[in-house]
Amino acid sequence: MTGGKIQRLLMTGVTIFWMLLIFGMSGADGETSSGMSGAVCEWIADTVMEDFEDYSPVRQQEIISSMQFYVRKAAHMTEYAILAVLLPVTLAMYGVNERTLAWAGPLLCVLYACTDEFHQTFVPARSGSPADVLIDSAGILAGSLVCLAARRIRKRGRQEKTPGSAGKISGSGSG
């Protein structure tokens, strides 16, 4: 197997793994999901607040509860921002052109977010939310912008390495 095929298979595996991770987290019942985000909130509070452990258990729980909504929504955005980077990179390795990637990558991610929310309607103590699809879409936009910036930087680097391109300004014409 060639190096390119190995890289393509590896990237495909990473992307599928990430999609399954999202699916798995969405499949956690309400109590488990709340427990995971609560643990993250507790870690953040303990890390950021020097005296967090000195608060009463009731006050600690109030602080954790006040953070949970924001941590959960940030997790939604982050998991989809990562998918919005992985999916187009994987598709590009299969020869999908940049113009198609610009719309197909984000669209496929949004469709996955919709199916993810639909999936949650079947999970005990969970519900699907159109608002979460919008939050996921904000993450998709962020990840897509990272991909766009990376492509532009890469193109610029290639133009600088091209013989005879030294001193030329991109798009300046021949005259």
Cβ atoms of residues 68 and 34 within 8 Å: yes
Query: Is residue 6's pLDDT more than 80?
Result: yes
pLDDT given at position 112: 97
Handedness of CA 92, 109, 77, 146 (dihedral sign): positive
Q: How confident is the model at residue 162 (pLDDT cuts 50, 70, 90)?
A: low
Cβ atoms of residues 97 and 156 within 8 Å: no
Handedness of CA 142, 77, 100, 7 (dihedral sign): positive
Average of per-residue pLDDT across 35-64: 94
pLDDT given at position 172: 46
Contacts of 141 (CB under 8 A, 6+ apart): 84, 106
pLDDT given at position 3: 82
Q: What is the pLDDT of residues 20-38, one digit of tens each?
A: 999 999 998 888 988 999 9
**pTM of the full structure:** 0.83
Buried b (16+ CB within 10 A) or exposed e, 139-154: bbbbbbeebeeeeeee
Give the DSSP H or E segment for 126.
none
Q: What is the pLDDT of residues 72-127, one digit of tens each?
A: 999 999 999 999 999 999 999 999 998 999 999 999 999 999 999 999 999 988 88
CA angle (101, 24, 9) in 5-degree steps: 45
